[in-house]
């Protein structure tokens, strides 16, 4: 059986922004930057008072390996949009805030442990 992951629910909420003309954000209040030929994608924490689309995150324990079952496939099969930022140790998997509980249930059904 393929090992599963222990995923932590990140307590913050996030915004995913697209800056077509930027090569770097004007501030340093970002969590993730992805620069591509068509522009810059920025992920940042969103204060509770800011309106707009919100994402919530699941972050795996350090030490994942190639043999560990992923989280993106079950979420995609359930029709849940994802935005993934990979680090050396784990992936930060963002899902739309309004689908958080559904995403957690899908991940549990896939065998993953959800903490938080």
Single pTM value for the model:
0.85
Q: Closest Cα partner for 46 from 16, 17, 15?
A: 15
What CATH number labels 6-114? 3.30.2130.10
DSSP helix/strand/coil, 71: coil
Taking every pair of Cα atoms in the chain, the longest distance, rounded to a whole number of angstroms, is: 47
**What are 38-49's pLDDT values in tens digits?**
899 999 999 878
DSSP helix/strand/coil, 3: coil
Consecutive sets of 10 residues in the chain, 116 residues long: mean pLDDT of each?
A: 79 92 85 90 87 91 60 92 86 94 95 89
Q: Does residue 7 contact residue 115 with C-beta atoms inside 8 Å? A: yes
User: What's the pLDDT at 66?
Assistant: 56
**Structure tokens belonging to residue 86:** 């990979």
């Amino acid at each position: 059986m393929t090992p599963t992951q222990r995923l932590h629910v990140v307590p913050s909420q996030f915004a995913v922004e697209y800056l077509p003309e930027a090569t770097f954000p004007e501030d340093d209040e970002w969590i993730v930057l992805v620069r591509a030929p068509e522009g810059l994608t920025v992920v940042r924490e969103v204060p509770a008072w800011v309106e707009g689309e919100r994402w919530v995150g699941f972050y795996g324990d350090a030490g994942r390996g190639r043999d560990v079952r992923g989280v993106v496939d079950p979420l995609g099969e359930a029709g849940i949009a994802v935005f993934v930022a990979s680090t050396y140790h784990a992936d930060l998997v963002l899902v739309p805030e309004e689908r958080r509980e559904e995403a957690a249930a899908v991940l549990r059904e896939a065998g993953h442990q959800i903490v938080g």
